[in-house]
Amino acid sequence: MQLTYKELEEFIAHSHLVGPEKRIALQGRLKHFQRAGWPRGTNQGKGSRVLYGIGQTLLLSLSFEMLELGMRPEQIVQLLKFEGEAMPRLF
């Protein structure tokens, strides 16, 4: 399974009950994670088509759960880069 950016955005919006009026904030958070190089392989540069695999989708979903707990994106990336990249394989 691979998702386009739009499909990933739709999935996260649906799973976190993000309405159309809050989509800009969701897109900003996704871009913030991309600029931080999270998850690995998603910061391909402007105009490049990125396909998100199941592992990347799982890690981004977990990242958004952590945002809801009040963690900052920088903390999330640091924590998940340290231990989280094994998670999709373990899952």
- The reported pTM is 0.82
How many CA atoms does the CB half-sphere of 16 hold within 13 Å?
Answer: 23
Query: What single letter denotes the amino acid at residue 9?
Result: E
Asked whether the predicted pLDDT for residue 29 surpasses 80, the reply is yes
The band of 85, judged by pLDDT with boundaries at 50, 70 and 90, is low
DSSP string, 61-88: HHHHHHHHTT--HHHHHHHHHHHGGGHH
Which has the higher per-residue pLDDT, 10 or 49? 10
pLDDT value for 55: 86
Tens digits of per-residue pLDDT, 52-66?
998 889 899 999 999
